[in-house]
Structure 1
Amino acid sequence: MAESISARLREAMTRHASAGLTAIITPESVSYTDLQTRIDSFAAGFHAWDVRRGTMVGVIASKTVDAIAAYFGAMQAGACVCFLEPGLAPDILAEQAEVVGMRHLVVDETLIARFHVSILTRLATKSLSDLKGEGAFVDEALGPQDNAMLLFTSGSTGRPKGVLLRHGALICNAEGVVQHTGTAPDDRLLHVMPLYHTNGVNNQLIVPFLAGASLILLDRFKPEPAIEHLRNDRPTYMTGVPTIYARMLPHLVPGERFPSLKFLRCGSAPITPALHEQIEAAFGVPLVVSYGLSEATCTSTMNPPERRKIGTIGTVLAGQTVSLFDPVTNALAPEGGEGEIRITGPALMAGYLGSAEQPIVDGWLHTGDLGRFDEDGFLAITGRIKDVIIRGGENISPALIERQLATHPAVRDCCVVGASDPDLGEVPIAFVVLHEGKSLNEVDLKNFIRGALARIYVPTEIRSLAVLPTNGVGKTDRKALKALVST
C-alpha cells in the first residue's frame, strides 16, 4: 500500500477514472481522469519551478478546480502545501511566510495584483495559469514522515503559528473518516466551507476523492445558494459549522425535504442540543456532530450517521486514541468521570512552526477541552479549561448556561463569556440572538436559567445582539464578545 497521501490519491483516482466516475459536478463537470491529468500537469509545473521535497508552498485562490489541482499537484511534487486565506493583507501574509520559511506562492490570476507589493518580494510568485507543465511528475519516494500540509492557527498572542502535518497523519485521518461515514462513489458532497480550513481540505477534498464521491463546489457560503444546490444538485451530505446551519434555517421552506440528502455533518464549534434538534427538524435528516483540531489533522471523534447521539461529539475514529485526564495531576480520569480530552496516534501534527508552545506532551495532544464518555463510548464536551468562569472561587462552565438558555423559545442563538467583577473576580455575561418578533426580557431569561441551574450560573447581565460575531470559519468569536463586555 502506498505510504503517502499523494500516492493514495493517485491510486484511488486511477480506479475511479477506470470506472468513469465524476470528481466535480459544479461549477464545471470534471471527471476523475481530467482531475488527475490537471494534478499531473501542475506537479510537473512545480517541479520545473524548483519545488522539491519539503518546499513550503502557499496557494491563494478561490474554490476552483484548478486551485484544487494545483494544491494536490504541489503535494505530488513533494511540497508541503498550504491554502491561504484570499482576503489576507500582504503584511499578514509576509509575516506568515516568514514564520514557516515559505518562499513560493501561487495566486489566482484575479487576485495576483494585490500581492505584487514590496513587502512580498522575498516570495517567488506565479499565477495558476503560468504553472501548468507538460506531462506529469510524481515524487515516488514520498513517505508517511514527509511533510505534506501546513495550516495556520493563532494562539492568545494573535501571532501566526504553522501546524505541520505529515503524509501519515493525513492518511490516518482520511481512513478513519471514510470508515466512520461509509463515504462511497454514490455520494455527493456539497462543499461550502473555506479551503484554508482543515476540514475544507482533509474531510471535504481528500476523503471524497479517496472514496470516489463527487463534489458540488460553492465558493463562498451564502444561505440561499446553498439551499438551491440542495434542491437542484442532489447532494447526499453537507458539512458545516453550527452558524452555517443556523443561517440557513430562516430561508428554508417549512416542511421542505431534500430526497437525496442522507445526513448533515457539523463540527469545528460547539452546538447546543436545542439548535441540533431545530436543524434536524428543519432539514428532516440526522445532524452528525464531530470533533477535532488542526493539531490532530482534522477529526478525532464523530457520531456514526446511523446512530448519532444528540449532545455528544461521537465515538473515536479508527487509528486514534482519545482519553480523559485530570488536567492538574495528569492521572487518567475515572470511568464515567470528567477530564481533559487528550489525543494520541498517527494523526497528530509534527509540531508548530513559529512558536515555542507545543501542546503535545509525552505523545499526547492536550486539547484544553473537558469531556466525559458515556457507557456506549460516546464523548460529550462539558466545557473548556480556559473558558471556565471562576466566580468567587467556584468554577462555572459557560456551556451549561448556553445549553439551558438555548432551549428558551425566544432564543435563537447564545454565548456566555466571563467578565471581571471587583467582588467575585469573574461573573457570567450572556449574549443572545432572539427569534424574529421576540424582544429581550432579561428577568424572564434569568428566571428560566434559575429554574434549571444553581444561582451562581445566572448571568449578571444578558444582552441582545442581531447576530453573534464569528471568525473566518464561522465559529462564535468569544474574544470579540469579551471585548463588548467592557463597552
Structure 2
Amino acid sequence: MTETFTERFAAGLAGYGDGQCIEFEGRWYTGDEVTAYADAIGAQLRAAGVDDDAPVGLVVRNRLPHAAAIIGFLAAGRAVSMIYSFQSPEAIGRDIETLNLSAIVADSEDWTDAVITAAKRTGSAGVALSVTAPTVTAVPGLERRDESRRHTEAEPDVALQILTSGTTGPPKRQSIKTRVLERTVFSVTSGEAAPPGAPPEFSYWQFGGIGVCQLIAGIYNGRRIVILERFTVDGWVNAVKTHGIKRSGVQPAVIRMLLDADVPKEDLASLDFLISASGPLDPETRDEFEARYGIAVKLAYGATEFAGSLCAWTPEMEREFGASKRNSVGRALPDTQLRIVDPDTGAEPPTGERGLVEAKIAAISDDWIRTTDIASIDEDGFVTLHGRADGAINRGGFKILPETVRRVLISHPAVRDACVVGVPDARLGQVPFAAVEVTPGLPVPTEDELEDMVRRSLPVYNVPVAFVMVDELPRNPALKVSLPAVAALYESRSKT
C-alpha cells in the first residue's frame, strides 16, 4: 500500500528523535521536543472538545511554538488556516469570524481583548502558545468550543490554507490540498536529498504564506531547520555565518539591503548562490551584488496558488544557457506545463511574444490556471517575466505597466527604488503616481528631472502625474512594497 503524504511527513518528524530539529533564537530544539509541543497542542484541542479532524485557525508567527503547531497539524492530518499576526487585533478578529472555526491557536501576546471577543462570538475554543512555561494553555473564557454552534468543517483533502502577501490589496486565502504538498517539497528541493551533515534549511519568510513551504520540505526530508522570526540584515547574516548556509531564497529587497549595509564579503563566504523571488530584481542591483560578493543570484518564479515554484534553473541549464538567458527565471519544472496567452482572446501568441502566464499542474488541476503575470517564453523554453497585469494602469484607454516606468526611474543614480501605482482620476479613470526611495548622501532628484527621464524613455502617457520622495518605501512583512500604502501617499500629498 502506498504511503500518503501525511504518513511520510509524520515519519520525517519521527526520524529526528533526540537529534537537532529546529533552531530558534540561538537554541536547538530536538525532534522529541517539537513533537512534545505538537502533542500538547493536540491534547489541549481535544480537551476543548475539538474533533481530531476539525480544521483550526493559527494566528501565525515565525516562532518555534507556531512551527511546532504547523508540523503537528500536518503530521496528524488536521487542516490549518493561517491568520496573519501583523494585522491589527480588530482585523485578526474579523478573520476569526469569517473563518468560523472550532478553535483558534495563537501566541499569548495575540490574545488581545478584540481577538478574545471575536472568538467568543464564533464559539471557538482558544489555545495560547508561548516559548516559556506554561507553553500551551487554554485561553480563559475559551476553554471549550461552543458545541451548540456549527463550525466550518474540513474540506476534502485540504491540508492548509495559506495567504498571499497582500501586495495589491487584502491577502487572499488559498486552499492547498494534501497531494499538492508533494509538489511543494519537490519545488523547494528540486527532488534532491541533502547529504548527511549538510547545512540546515534557512526559513525566515512568513509561515502564513508561501514561506511555510520551506518548513514543510525541511521536515519531510528530515533536514535541520533554522528559523528567523523576521528579517533583519544582522540576523540573516549571522545565521548564514553560524550555520554555513549554502543557498537561500531572498526577496529582491534583501539583496539591496545587504549591499546598503556593506556586509563584509567574508560574512557571506559560505553561500554558493541566492535565489531571488517574489518580485522583480533590477539588473543593476543584481550585477552590483554579484560583482561585490562573487555570489550568483538566480531568478525564480512561483506563486501561492501553486504552493511553490513553477520554474527553476538546473546546473545543466546554467552551463549551457547561464550567460545567454541571464534574465530568465528558467524553464518549467518537470511536473508543470506553461503557456502564454492573450489576455483578451485566450489565443497563444507567437513564440517570444508577451502575454499572461497559464499553468497546468496535474497535482493541482487538469485545467489551465491563469495567473496575472505577464511573461514570454522563448524558443528554448525559457521564461522571462515582464510585470503583473493586475497592476496595469488604464490611463484613458492607454495601458501602462508600472514595472516599465519603475525601470526608468531606478536608472537615476539618486533613486534607490521606486514604486508606480494607479490612482483615481475623474477624467481619465486612472493616472500613474510614483513614490521614489532616494539614495542616502546624494542630492534628491527633482520632479522635473524624473518627469523628463520618463518622457525621454517612454510614451508621454507613462509620465507620473506626481512624485513623492521617501527615505523608505512602505513594505509589508514579506518585504514587498505595499501598493495600497503607496497609493495612500498620493492621497496624503493631495490633502496638503
Q: Provide TM-score, normalisation by structure 2.
A: 0.81
Q: Does 1:179 align with 2:184?
A: no
How do residues 377-456 of structure 1 correspond to structure 2 at under 5 angstroms?
Answer: 377-420=381-424, 426-438=430-442, 439-456=444-461
Please state if 1:81 is matched with 2:42.
no
Asked whether 1:478 is paired with 2:483, we answer yes
Q: Is the 8 A contact 2:167 2:480 kept in 1?
A: no
Q: Give secondary structure in 2 for the equivalent of 1:334.
A: coil
Task: Give the equivalent residue in structure 1 for 2:337.
Answer: 321
Residues 19-46 of structure 1: CA deviation (Å, up to 9, x unaligned)? x863324432234455456545655655
Report how far residue 80 of structure 1 moved. 0.8
Identity of aligned residues (%): 27
Contact (CA 8 Å) 2:97, 2:119: kept in 1 or not?
A: no
Q: Which amino acid aligns with 1:196?
A: G
Asked if 2 retains the 8 angstrom alpha-carbon contact of 1:52 and 1:77, the reply is: no
What is aligned with 2:107? 108
- The equivalent of 2:205 in structure 1 is 193
CA offsets 1:62-94 (integer angstroms, 9 cap, x no match): 433332122221223331113432344443233
- Residue 290 of structure 2 is aligned to residue 280 of structure 1: yes
1:184–1:211 Cα contact (<8 Å) kept:
no
CA distance 1:367–1:403, change in 2 (3 Å): same
- TM-aligned CA deviation for residue 327 of structure 1: 1.4
Shift in alpha-carbon separation, 1:432–1:157, aligned structure 2, 3 A: closer
Gaps of 5+ in 1: 133-143, 350-361
Q: Deviations over 1:312-370 (max 9, x none)?
A: 33322232222211111122333222121122224548xxxxxxxxxxxx823221221
Query: Which of the numbers 239, 261, 264 marks the counterpart of 2:274?
Result: 264
Does structure 1 retain, via aligned residues, the 8 Å contact 2:89–2:110? no
Code of the residue aligned with 1:11 in structure 2: it is A
With over 3 angstroms needed to count, the CA separation of the structure-2 counterparts of 1:91 and 1:457, relative to structure 1, is closer
**Counterpart contact for 1:177–1:317, Cα < 8 Å:** no
Contact 1:41 1:73 in 2 (8 A): no
Q: Secondary structure of the equivalent of 2:62?
A: coil
Contact 1:296 1:343 in 2 (8 A): no
Give the alignment partner of residue 350 of structure 2, picking from 314, 321, 334: 334
Contact 2:102 2:124 in 1 (8 A): yes
SS of residue in 2 equivalent to 1:313: coil
Q: Which moved more, 1:106-115 or 1:217-226?
A: 106-115
Structure 1 Cα separation of the partners of residues 267 and 69 of structure 2: 37
Count of residues in Structure 1 that have an aligned counterpart in Structure 2:
461
Partner residue, 2:59: 60
Q: 1:62 to 1:453 in 2, by over 3 A?
A: closer
> C-alpha displacement at 1:11, in angstroms?
2.9
Matched-pair contact (CA < 8 Å) for 1:61–1:111: no
C-alpha displacement of 1:238:
2.4
Task: Name 1:206's counterpart in structure 2.
Answer: 216
The secondary structure found in structure 2 opposite 1:29 is: strand
The change in CA–CA distance for 1:410 and 1:183 in structure 2 (over 3 A counts) is farther
Which residue of the partner structure matches residue 132 of structure 2? none
2: CA distance, partners of 1:154 / 1:176 = 19
Query: After superposition, what is the alpha-carbon deviation per residue over 1:442-468, rounded to whole angstroms, capped at 9, x for unaligned?
Result: 444344444543444343444321111
What is the DSSP-based 3-state SS (H/G/I as helix, E as strand, rest coil) of the residue aligned with 2:190?
helix
Instruction: Encode CA deviations 1:246-302: one digit per residue, 9 max, x unaligned.
Output: 233322335445222122223222322223333334443122332222222232223
* Deviation for aligned residue 1:106: 1.8
Spell out the pairing of 1:93-132 with structure 2 (5 A cutoff): 93-112=92-111, 117-121=116-120, 122-128=123-129, 129-130=135-136
Report the secondary structure of 2:403's partner residue.
Answer: helix
- Describe the shift of the 1:335–1:116 C-alpha distance in structure 2 as closer, same or farther (beyond 3 A): closer
Structure 2 CA distance for partners of 1:47 and 1:420, relative to 1, 3 Å: closer
How well do the aligned residues superpose, as a CA RMSD in angstroms? Answer: 3.4
Contact 1:188–1:237 (CA under 8 A) maintained in structure 2: no
**Offset of 1:172 from its aligned partner?**
1.5
Q: Is the 8 A contact 2:237 2:268 kept in 1?
A: no
Residues 45 and 127, structure 2, Cα contact 8 Å, conserved in 1: no
Q: Residues 268 and 77 from structure 1, CA distance in 2 versus in 1: closer, same or farther, beyond 3 angstroms? A: same
The amino acid across from 1:55 in the alignment is A
The alpha-carbon distance between structure 1 residues 293 and 53, as it changes in their structure 2 partners (threshold 3 A), is farther
Matches within 5 A, 1:295-314: 295-304=305-314, 307=318, 309-314=325-330
Deviation at 1:372, TM superposition (A): 0.5
Secondary structure in structure 2 of the residue aligned to 1:376: coil
| Alignment pair present for 1:289 and 2:305 | no
Q: Partners in 2 of 1:410 and 1:290 — Cα distance?
A: 28
| Contact in 1 for aligned 2:354/2:376 (Cα 8 Å) | yes
2:158 maps to 1:147 = yes
Is the partner of 2:268 in helix, strand or coil? coil
Deviates more, 1:27-36 or 1:63-72: 27-36
- Aligned twin of 2:243: 233
* Contact 2:392/2:401, CA 8 A, preserved across alignment: yes
Tell me if the contact between 1:392 and 1:425 (Cα under 8 Å) persists in the aligned partners. Answer: yes
- The equivalent residue for 1:366 is 370
Distance in 2, matches of 1:92 and 1:343, equals 33
TM-aligned CA distance change 1:101 to 1:392, over 3 Å: closer
2:298 partner SS: strand
| Cα gap change, 1:53 to 1:303, in 2 (>3 Å) | farther
Gaps of 5+ in 2: 130-134, 139-154
Distance in 2 between residues matched to 1:234 and 1:482, nearest whole Å: 41
CA 1:424–1:104: 2 relative to 1, 3 Å: closer
Partners of 1:169 and 1:297 within 8 A in 2: yes
Secondary structure, aligned partner of 2:300? strand
Distance in 2 (CA, whole Å) between partners of 1:147 and 1:412 is 42
1:463 and 2:468 equivalent?
yes
- The answer to whether the 8 Å contact 2:352/2:378 transfers is yes
Q: Any conservation in 1 of the 2:96–2:118 contact (CA below 8 Å)?
A: no
Q: Secondary structure at the match of 1:190?
A: strand
Taking structure 1 as the reference length, what is the TM-score of the superposition?
Answer: 0.82
